[in-house]
Amino acid sequence: MAEDVKPRVRVPKTAAAGETIVIKTLINHVMESGQRKDSSGNPIPRQIINRFTCEFNGQMVLDVTLEPAISTNPYFEFEAVVPESGEFKFTWYDDDGSVYETTEAITVG
């Protein structure tokens, strides 16, 4: 588990049925590409978030594959159409097997 990795998300609390909302997500992660060398010349091993998913009431909304070119603290901002009240689940998968997760409820009506 990479230390002190904390995801944070911004989802509106309420929306109208069928409204397009903006979701902002951020996770602090070093996203070490594996291309860098330390001061002694030794390669610093790769350690990145390699996948980010967003699900709504069990249905996949967004599934992103991240590559080493993505820099530190990956930020994703995207739109989603919300048909009903429910819960968004955001999941980040680390190279080392760690999984970071957070959920946000939204009320539609």
- Report the interface residues with another protein, using CB under 8 A: 4, 6, 8, 10, 24, 26, 28, 71-73
* Nearest to another protein of 31, 82 (CB atom): 31
List CB contacts of 6: < 8 A, sequence separation 6 or more: 27, 28, 100
What does the alpha-carbon distance between residue 83 and residue 18 come to, in Å, rounded to a whole number? 5
Q: Which is nearer to another protein, 17 or 22 (CB)?
A: 22
CA distance to 25, 43, 90, per residue, from 86 (Å): 18, 45, 13
How far apart are CB 27 and another protein at their closest, in Å? 10
Q: How far is the CB of 19 from another protein (least distance, A)?
A: 20
